[in-house]
Structure formats: structure tokens, C-alpha cells
């Protein structure tokens, strides 16, 4: 079983977290398989996915040590605990819900709370959030991350929203720990057609871009 620190290290390498809002629960396993084949091992199955807890359990059981299956869009402690019990390796919330932190840490799993302002980000950090999800990042961009990290360099920031192949490099250059990628990685067309080959190709492109930005 991975420790919290081991999970954190794997989330940072290559640093691309796939945000999965599947249309059906049975898409979770082949979707995760396709992502892993392309090098993206962090798979955040959101609670907006139909039967999300069952999808997390199945993906966790079938992908085992080959992937990090996490849960996203967690708003309530009950859902957080249910996802952890189902095998979620990390927890993500789009909001600053600090009461979720003890649940994740008791299970020895990292958690990422959502923030938009410097105050929210610092509150989440002081409460013990392992990462700070800046969301929605599409209206803020890399320059906001740079400005935020100037007085708050200790924050491990993960922007979500607005991260694509054109912007991923600038986000990493701005000092983010990792990025969350949703529709730019897992397109509507891929989900409608179950086009896992296309998803694997796109995942590989994201990984290549992330590694290039870090190396640079």
C-alpha cells in the first residue's frame, strides 16, 4: 500500500492529473487504461460521473498499482469517506472545505482543496491541504499563479480549467506543482465515441509537454 508521501510523489511525476467526468460508470476502467497507456497515471474520477463510487472501486481494483485512482468534485464528508473506502488514492474538492482534510489524512491519502483567492489558498494550506487547486484557472492564467506565488511560494498549486497543450508549459514555468486537465485532455468526442486510442495519444502529448516544461 502506498504511503501519502509516495502518492504525492507520483502525482508530481509527470504532474498531469486527468479530471474525468465520464458519461457512464462503465467508461471509467477503459478510460483510465487509455490514460495510463499514454503516461497519465493520476486519474481523478469526479462525483459528477454516474455511479462514481462504484466506478472508483472498479478502477481501483482493476488498475491496482499501475494508476492513481482519485476522486474529484467532493463537496460533502460523507462522499469523501465513501470514495476513500472504495479505494480512492487522493481527494480533490473544487471548494475550500477544510473539514474534508482529517478524513483524507486519517486514510493516509493526500487532499487538494479548491481556492480562487490568496486568502482561500492560505486558509486551505494552514488547515493541512497537501495541494491547492486554483479553480477555475482559465480566467486567471499563468500570470495569476506567478503573482500568487510571489508572497506565497510555499503553496503547492494545481490549476484546473484552462490547461491545454498551449498553456501547460506556461503554467509549469509559473511554478505550479502539477496541473489538472479535463475536457482539453478527455474531449467530448472521445467520451461519445469511446475513442480510447485517441485519448492515449492525447495523454502522451500532455505528458511530453509537461516534461518539456519541467526540463526547461
Catalytic positions are 44, 133
191 contact partners, CB below 8 Å, separation of at least 6:
22, 23, 27
What pairing do the DSSP bridges indicate for beta strands 157-159 and 179-181?
unpaired
3-state secondary structure of 104: helix
113-122 CB contacts, 8 Å cutoff, 24+ apart: 116/140, 118/148, 118/151, 118/152, 120/96, 121/148, 121/152, 121/155, 121/157, 122/152, 122/155
Amino acid at each position: 500500500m502506498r504511503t501519502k508521501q509516495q502518492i504525492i510523489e507520483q502525482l508530481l511525476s509527470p504532474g498531469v492529473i486527468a479530471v474525468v467526468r465520464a458519461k457512464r460508470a462503465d467508461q471509467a476502467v477503459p478510460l483510465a487504461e487509455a490514460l495510463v497507456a499514454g503516461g497519465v497515471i493520476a486519474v481523478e474520477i469526479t462525483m459528477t460521473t454516474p455511479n462514481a463510487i462504484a466506478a472508483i472501486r472498479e478502477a481501483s481494483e482493476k488498475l491496482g498499482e499501475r494508476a492513481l485512482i482519485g476522486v474529484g468534485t467532493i463537496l460533502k464528508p460523507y462522499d469523501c469517506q465513501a470514495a476513500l473506502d472504495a479505494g480512492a488514492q487522493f481527494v480533490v474538492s473544487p471548494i475550500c472545505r477544510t473539514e474534508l482534510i482529517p478524513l483524507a489524512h486519517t486514510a493516509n491519502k493526500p487532499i487538494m482543496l479548491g481556492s480562487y483567492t490568496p486568502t482561500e489558498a492560505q486558509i486551505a494550506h494552514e488547515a493541512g491541504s497537501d495541494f491547492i487547486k486554483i479553480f477555475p484557472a482559465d480566467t486567471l492564467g499563468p500570470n495569476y499563479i506567478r503573482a500568487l506565488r510571489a508572497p506565497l511560494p510555499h503553496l503547492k498549486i494545481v490549476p484546473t480549467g484552462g490547461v491545454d497543450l498551449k498553456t501547460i508549459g506556461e503554467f509549469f514555468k509559473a511554478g505550479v506543482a502539477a496541473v489538472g486537465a479535463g475536457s482539453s485532455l478527455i474531449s467530448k468526442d472521445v467520451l461519445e465515441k469511446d475513442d480510447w486510442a485517441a485519448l492515449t495519444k492525447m495523454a502522451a502529448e500532455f505528458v511530453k509537454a509537461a516534461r518539456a516544461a519541467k526540463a526547461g
